[in-house]
Each structure stands twice: as structure tokens, then as C-alpha cells.
Amino acid sequence: MSYDPANSDPVFLSAQLGDFVVVEEQESLLSNESQRFSWIGRVLHIVMGARSTHQNSLFQLLDLESGSIRFVNADQVLHVFYSGDNHS
């Protein structure tokens, strides 16, 4: 999980609709080794946590490379790039 050095909060807490995010995933290989890879997505929908409705829990993202719609856990978000649409 990545942290913002300015306020030490997890990076995914700052993500909003329309933002671009870098996601890290781990892929299991047949040889019992795992490989990490990253991809960029655009936030389409945010699911808030059950215990805290002010914290992001899941993101529905548009994978910019493949064009597919994917759900990811919020803690897989490494970086947030603001789209400018929702931030002032």
C-alpha cells in the first residue's frame, strides 16, 4: 500500500471519480512464483467501506490499455493522477 508523504494517509483515499490511477497486481505463475505488474485505469465508480462510509474500499476502473472494466481493491492503487475534473 502506498502512502502520501505529505499527510501519511493511504494514496487511495484521495482518489475521486474521473481520476487516473496506477494499479499494481500480482499474477501467480505455474511455478509457484509470482510476478507483479502495473496498469493505468480511470475511476468510474467508487464503493465505500461498510464500516466507514468516508473511505474508499473498491474501485470500478476503465483499463486504458485493454478497454475493459475492472474492479480492484482500493489498496492496490499505487498513485493517483488527478483528472482536473473534480479537483480545484
CATH number of the structural domain spanning residue 58? 2.30.30
Task: Summarize pLDDT for 4-43 with one digit per residue, the tens.
Answer: 455 577 888 889 999 999 999 877 666 666 778 899 999 9
Task: Summarize pLDDT for 39-87 with one digit per residue, the tens.
Answer: 999 999 999 887 877 788 899 999 999 999 999 999 899 999 987 666 5
**Structural domain of 32:** 11-81
Q: Is residue 1 part of a domain?
A: no
Q: What is the pTM of this model?
A: 0.76
Alpha carbons within 13 angstroms on the beta-carbon side of residue 74 total: 19
Q: Is residue 21 part of a domain?
A: yes
